[in-house]
Structure 1
Amino acid sequence: MLRLDICAYNSRLASLVRFGESLSAWALFLELHRHRTDLDPYTFTPVLKACSSLPHPPNPGEQVHGVMIKTGSDQGTVSKTALVDMYSKCRLLCGSVKAFGELESKDVVSWNAMLSSFLSHGLVKDAICMFERMKEEEVEWNEFTMCSMLKACTMSRASSQGKQVHGMMVKMGRDFVVLGTSLIDFYSSVQDIDEAIKVYSSLGESNDGVMCNSMIAGCVKNKRYKEAFEIMCSMRPNVVALTTALAACSENSDLWIGRQIHCMAARLGFTLDTQLCNSLLDMYAKCGKVANSETLFHCIPQKDVISWTAMIDAYRVHGYGLQAFMLFNKMGESHDGVPPNSVTLLAVLSACGHSGLVEQGRACFGLAQEKYNLVVYPKHYACFIDSLGRAGYMEEAWSVFVEMAEEKHMGHSAEVWAALLNACRLNGDISKGEYVAKHLLELEPNNPGNYVIIRNFYAAIGRWDLVEETRILMSKRGIKKEAGGSWVSSFNSGIVQNFVD
């Protein structure tokens, strides 16, 4: 170890991380830390990148940060930017903000890292404020900045702001080949599909596979099937393109189009692809064809956890709680050896709860912790409490609620309080219900859904005066109940038929 220059090891660390060998990079870093005292910022930068994908709890990135402070390697733009990125990917936003604030000289990469951090945490407004600060400090933007802003506009459905970003790109002469996919995603999300098609057409031969896949998904999502299949005709459809189109079909419940894509996948020999089959399974389930989902599920040669979860969820949606429970039991015992994850557990608990299968729900809850060693989150407790309340087991629901805080040392989230209030409503428990309603409002005073649950509770116990008080409180706080919606998908079947023929 002492014979080689530290630059050689820094290069080796960077190569390992670049090729996804995070564990090997971590092992090499530990060895270097034990034997050398000349570690520099370029040693730590790739290691910080590897930390976000390391399975060690607690986050080793914080330990690396501590070593950097001891060695004085935490100063400088490169080191601080790497810390911003690491904390963001490890879901520690406070660390990202602090590291960014300590930067004395911020370059465009630093600003982009902070923008990306806010967006990855769903904080669109903060990302836009960060962009405004960039303008104020006259930071020269690059393509990554523009992509981040388009993503922010896509997430917030901010049509006018996204068009302004597009205009800035035109004015500054930015590379549309790099930004084309982001623009297409943005215009598709705000239902301006004609503008998305213009962007796609303007790039001509520069369109790559990713951009084509994005354009196909956008067309199907906006029910422009003719254009979607014209793009498919102009390229050789790949698994990603068909999977993306199927996701859009699932969202719009377009069974007929989904079936045509299934036929196309079969003709091209893609039906052995697990990811594509998962999308087909989900599409049929969301279109009400659970029997087709079952057939597909049994034909998938290599089922992954998504396959099992999608089938369990399909049973849940269609009210087949017992089938969902039985399939959950088969997971760990199957020849694939696929253990469930937290999403699987949530699906099966919900399925059992809505089918009145309390004993099966209890069994799933126990199996998750004892057999599969799954981490049980508040959303799982909320689902379990809701199922107990629906079945009339109010005291047990309350015991589970208390156990979360006393034995599991887990805080009660709003969804847990809401589930317990619903249980109180169904079982006519006035004293507990009033206590829960008070805490729910304190926890989330601006969530319109909570007010609806509270009003339903007061109505169920005959307290119409409190129903009116809750309505007045909503009005004073400017909170409005979100309107429901209904839509029917329609399309010209001849478009796809011509393609298939």
Structure 2
Amino acid sequence: MMQRPPSHLLSLKNRPLNSWNAMIQTSIANGFFSESLDLYSSMLSYGTNGDNFTFPSVAKACAKLRSIRDGIKVHAHTVLLGFQSHVFVQTSLVDMYSKCSHLEDSRQVFDEMPMRTLVSWNSIISAYSHHLRTLESFGLFGEMRSLGTKPSSSTLVGLVSSCTDSGRCSSVHCYGIKVGFDSDLRFSNSVMNMYVRLGMLDDATSLFDSMERRSNVSWSILIDGYAGVGDGVKVFALFNRMRRDLVELDSVAFVGLVSQCAQFEGLSATYSVHGLLIKSGFDREPKLAASTVAMYARRNDLVSARKVFDSVEEKDVSLWTSMIGGYVRHGRSLEALDLFQELLRTTVKPNEVTVITILSACADFGLLSMGEKVEEYVTAAGFGSDLRVCTSLIHMYCKCGCVERAKEIFDGVSSKDLAAWSAMIKGYACHGRGREALALFEEMKKEGLLIKPDAIMFTEILSACSHSGLVEEGLRCFESMERDFGVEPNVKHYSCVVDLLARAGHFDCAAKLVERLPARAQGQAWAPLLSASGAHWGVTFEKLRSEEEAQTTGNYVMMSNIFASLAKWKEATWFRRLVDHGGFVKEPGWSRIL
């Protein structure tokens, strides 16, 4: 920040301090935060020091840029120039440290302030609330009141954002009513948003109905609340109420409405909402167009989705990503890849979500060459440190058979989460490399990470053991699930263990395990036993005839095929007739041909 000023600023050499302050404030007001710091740097290089108007502005620029390095320098300047007791300057530093995620430094500045105003208290309370430090924010609120500082509605708005339970939620609301803030629209909206966030929709609706004034934000908060729980009927009812009350519609209100169209059967609701978007003039807005594309894609109407996409002239990255994601979701990955290549020919730059989506398409079709090109873009665009992107690359390379390259990417990730570990373990499992999968699982546990294996990871581990014949290791893993990690085994885990035992020839043990399962789970667990039994069909034949839970179409067809391979035509015919004449429906198979 203390570098020589740019050449276009050299004409500012003889400017007075108030002129510098005006330029810095104007730059910040226009959102040019980096330029504001350049101006401040230039001012210092010409021998002009800041004052109580300069430092709050520059601290705000540091906060907006999340630049703690520059923020610390600004703080040092305030101390050197004797502004450590100026309440307005120090309050701006409290806010700056909080916005830069240095809460302890923010609190230290606050504690060292010789005098505090209401704004100072609001800043530190909001800082703790922003970091979800509820106890500390309420403690500060109590301390402020005990020292005789009267809270404002902004104080309560700061408190509201940290509430994590209904008790504190209601107490803040009641206190606000008591001191007369119930007519403050910002306070009411904040409380209503808090109720929605905590799932207290009845309380949110009661507050909404009691409000004398409502803004578009008020309507949007409640619409988003019901949209979040999938209550499409309430969403549409609120939207119609907005129209009856002649509330001016905005794009935010439409977002919740568009997201709920999938709750209704048929496309009539979808077409109605799209028509209203067109009538209201929001159909060409990229963000809403992206939601509309996603709406049609969820209803499997990709033709309409593409028409909406093509109708928008100035497409943003969210619109491109939404259309690409629609193709991927419905297995039309080649069209997704074509659209991605078209995107690369525009001035719009794909973001991390776009990359993750297209990598999924590459994985589905095993398109290694395309996946490698996407990785080149990831490196060029600087997304290589994004954990979600790295996990998607690991998954793609594993699906394309390049397990070693996947491991290279995995090893290069510094802070791995559960998804990254699972992707690599699944990659080993899919390629029958059970020992590597187990070794990686053990490595994860030995590193002492705060990562708890979930049900999906145990499914992959058990599958890896099954396909690699690691019976003892698989059984130990199965036993440790609930005992060591609190993961309750489900039917998939039992099926993996049945498959593990059956592949190793332990048919009696596998059959006994199936018998111990709940009735609704037995039908699925029989499948791996039947598949593995082959020549040992006698172990399962009588069970299959007597166990109602095992009598499924898939199991009958499998047994018919087993008997046919053993030239036991009578038994094969018996099972085939059960499928043909017993009211069972065989689901058709399907495949993709490139």
Pick the TM interval, shorter chain.
0.7 to 0.9
Q: Could you tell me how far 1:264 is from its partner in structure 2?
A: 1.0
Change (3 A) 1:71 1:282: farther
- Is the CA contact (8 Å cut-off) linking 1:358 and 1:391 kept in structure 2? yes
Residues 186-242 of structure 1: CA deviation (Å, up to 9, x unaligned): 3334444443333233333x2223223334444555431323311222125423244
Matched, 1:130 2:137: yes
Moved more, 453-462 or 94-103: 94-103
Q: Could you tell me how far 1:148 is from its partner in structure 2?
A: 3.2
Change (3 A) 1:352 1:473: same
Q: Which runs of structure 2 are paired with 1:374-413 in the superposition (5 Å)?
A: 374-402=383-411, 404=412, 410-413=414-417
Q: Could you tell me how far 1:33 is from its partner in structure 2?
A: 1.1
Among 262, 267, 270, the alignment partner of 2:274 is 262
Q: Could you tell me how far 1:74 is from its partner in structure 2?
A: 5.0
- Is the CA contact (8 Å cut-off) linking 1:309 and 1:344 kept in structure 2? yes
Matched, 1:290 2:298: no
Query: Within 1, Cα distance between the matches of 2:62 and 2:436?
Result: 45
Q: Name the structure 1 match of 2:444.
A: 440
Q: Name the structure 1 match of 2:420.
A: 416
Q: Name the structure 1 match of 2:430.
A: 426
Query: Within 2, Cα distance between the matches of 1:322 and 1:118?
Result: 49
Structure 2 residue matching 1:245: 3-state secondary structure: helix
Query: Within 2, Cα distance between the matches of 1:93 and 1:252?
Result: 43
Q: What letter is aligned with 2:399? A: R
Q: Name the structure 1 match of 2:153.
A: 143
- Is the CA contact (8 Å cut-off) linking 2:368 and 2:397 kept in structure 1? yes
Q: Could you tell me how far 1:66 is from its partner in structure 2?
A: 4.3
Q: Could you tell me how far 1:364 is from its partner in structure 2?
A: 0.6
Matched, 1:196 2:204: yes
Q: Could you tell me how far 1:472 is from its partner in structure 2?
A: 0.2
- Please list every run of 5 or more consecutive structure 2 residues that lacks an aligned counterpart in the other structure: 1-11, 466-470, 491-594
Structure 2 residue matching 1:339: 3-state secondary structure: coil
Change (3 A) 1:86 1:20: same
- TM-score with structure 1 length normalisation? 0.80
Q: Which runs of structure 2 are paired with 1:39-438 in the superposition (5 Å)?
A: 39-54=50-65, 60-73=70-83, 76-91=86-101, 95-96=105-106, 99-100=109-110, 103=113, 105-118=115-128, 120=130, 123-124=131-132, 126-138=133-145, 140-153=150-163, 156=164, 158-174=165-181, 175-204=183-212, 206-221=213-228, 222=231, 223-224=233-234, 225-246=236-257, 248-249=259-260, 257-334=269-346, 337-370=347-380, 372-402=381-411, 404=412, 410-438=414-442
Residues 386-436 of structure 1: CA deviation (Å, up to 9, x unaligned): 22223333222222223x16xxxx444443223212222222334432332
- Is the CA contact (8 Å cut-off) linking 1:119 and 1:127 kept in structure 2? yes
Structure 1 residue matching 2:49: 3-state secondary structure: coil
Structure 2 residue matching 1:238: 3-state secondary structure: coil
Q: Could you tell me how far 1:438 is from its partner in structure 2?
A: 2.9
- Is the CA contact (8 Å cut-off) linking 2:126 and 2:137 kept in structure 1? no
Query: Within 2, Cα distance between the matches of 1:193 and 1:319?
Result: 37
Structure 1 residue matching 2:315: 3-state secondary structure: coil
Structure 1 residue matching 2:366: 3-state secondary structure: coil
- Please list every run of 5 or more consecutive structure 1 residues that lacks an aligned counterpart in the other structure: 483-501
Q: What letter is aligned with 2:214? A: N
Matched pairs, number: 463
Structure 1 residue matching 2:345: 3-state secondary structure: coil
Moved more, 417-426 or 284-293: 284-293
Q: What letter is aligned with 1:417? A: W
- Is the CA contact (8 Å cut-off) linking 1:84 and 1:99 kept in structure 2? yes
Residues 239-275 of structure 1: CA deviation (Å, up to 9, x unaligned): 3244333354278678654432211111223222222
- TM-score with structure 2 length normalisation? 0.69
Structure 2 residue matching 1:152: 3-state secondary structure: coil
Query: Within 1, Cα distance between the matches of 2:447 and 2:350?
Result: 32
Change (3 A) 1:148 1:28: same
Q: What letter is aligned with 2:272? A: Q
Higher relative contact order (CA 8 A, sep 6+): 1
Query: Within 2, Cα distance between the matches of 1:13 and 1:398?
Result: 49
